[in-house]
Amino acid sequence: MSKKVALVTGGGRGIGFGICEKLAADGFNLVLSGRSDASKVADSVAELERLGADVLYCSGDVSSADDRAAMLAEIKDYFGRLDVLVNNAGVAPQVRADILEATEDSFEWIMKINLQGPYFLTQACANWMIEQKRSDDSFEACIINIGSISATVVSPNRGDYCISKAGLGMMSSLFAARLGEFAIPVYEIRPGIIKTDMTAGVTEKYDNLIFNTELLVEKRWGVPEDIGKLAAAMARGDMPYASGQVIYVDGGLTMNRL
């Protein structure tokens, strides 16, 4: 039996790479996608291969319909199957702007990458998964969306990002409902404060909040491995009867407390 294949957008670094490491250790072959040239993720690919995965890197922009189509064609040609989609790629605002001053250009750029791209990539992958299910009833697939606590936690200086993640939450629910008849579960993970290059510019701010306030129940930075462990459990099928669920990985940040 051939190994299952997982596509992880933005899988070459940060949370995406943390997910890929756990999937590789669990015996998955991997497709990583990103906007960078393959040379920029060569070390990541080598590490995943060391863990036993056959790795395909597809260079492209998830917001581009042509790039998405080319990526899926490449996966079909190389692996001939797709069992897991992890929508992880995303961007933060290039400038954190008050919502009274934010620009339409920033809004459109973020929406295309964080929401429109994942929406239509999921549509395409879901249809391929349905085809595989119809030809082999034993085929098992799932879709995992990496959202953010920003879907519900308000940041008025990056409203476009918050709205994109709120939209991703509804997207998760929509696809979970639609794909139920095909037994393809859809899950969403909402990370909190995770130590990646995306948060590197605000390290001092979050260090203070994490260690000097009562913001978190678990007083530490989250790390990509925290997300990877949960995503791997979902991909393995360890969460049956739970399609459509949202799981927060945020150190207790969003838990209601007195």
- Please write the tens of the pLDDT for every residue from 158-188: 999 999 999 999 999 999 999 999 999 999 9
Q: How far is residue 39's CA from residue 22's CA, in Å, rounded to a whole number?
A: 22
Tokens matching residue 191: 């990370």
Q: How far is residue 189's CA from residue 173's CA, in Å, rounded to a whole number?
A: 12
Identify the band that residue 1 occupies on the pLDDT scale cut at 50, 70 and 90. Answer: low
Q: How far is residue 228's CA from residue 220's CA, in Å, rounded to a whole number?
A: 17
Identify the band that residue 53 occupies on the pLDDT scale cut at 50, 70 and 90. Answer: very high
CA 154, 159, 162, 163 dihedral sign is positive
Question: What is the enclosing helix (H) or strand (E) of 139?
Answer: none
Confidence at residue 180, expressed as pLDDT on a 0 to 100 scale: 98
Task: Please say if 161 is a catalytic residue.
Answer: yes
Among the options 57, 119, 161, 241, which is catalytic? 161
